[in-house]
Amino acid sequence: MKQKILLLIFLLAAVSCGKVVNKGGETVGKTATEFFEGVSEGVDKTLQCELNLSQELQDKGVKTGKYSIDKLPEGGKNNLLILYLIFDKDFKSTVTAKVFDKKGLEIGRAKLDIESKAGNAGYYDFAFDKRTYIEVKSKIVLETLN
């Protein structure tokens, strides 16, 4: 009889511990996910570049959306600006993207001929020299030539 009672207590304890371990695992997993999402969002906010659109481009109905920095297949690192542009007016011009480092020194330029109708939007790739490295907290200025 004692053995049956001990076996029953042991089984109840094992089942109970299993539930506690599962709940504890769920809590740890959820906490870790929230932590890494928070770190990722914090990094995104602190590492972002400053993107400025010249007044002339704004007057021509150009707006910016999301952007990212990547590398060119030909080589280099962080030397490709992928920029989503929105056009409120018909647009046809050469756009220059200039990159400045944290100290305000120009480190690269890229030009792109763009033509779009009012109401259109899309991604545009500004390819810089393979030696250009768009670093954290860089400033990117977009201007038109004509």
pLDDT value for 21:
53
Q: Which residues of the chain register pLDDT less than 50?
A: 39-47
> In the β-sheet with 121-127, what is the strand arrangement from edge to edge?
62-72, 75-87, 121-127
Phi (first) and psi of residue 27, to 5 degrees: -65, -45
pLDDT value for 105:
96
pLDDT value for 43:
40
CA–CA dist 75, 42 (Å, integer): 29
Report the predicted TM-score, pTM, of the whole model to 2 decimal places. 0.68
For residue 8, what are the CA distances in angstroms to 1, 52, 56, 95? 11, 71, 81, 78
**List of residues 6+ apart from 56 with CB closer than 8 A:** 143, 144
pLDDT value for 9:
77
pLDDT value for 44:
43
pLDDT value for 14:
66
Structure tokens at 5: 């009672």
pLDDT value for 76:
87
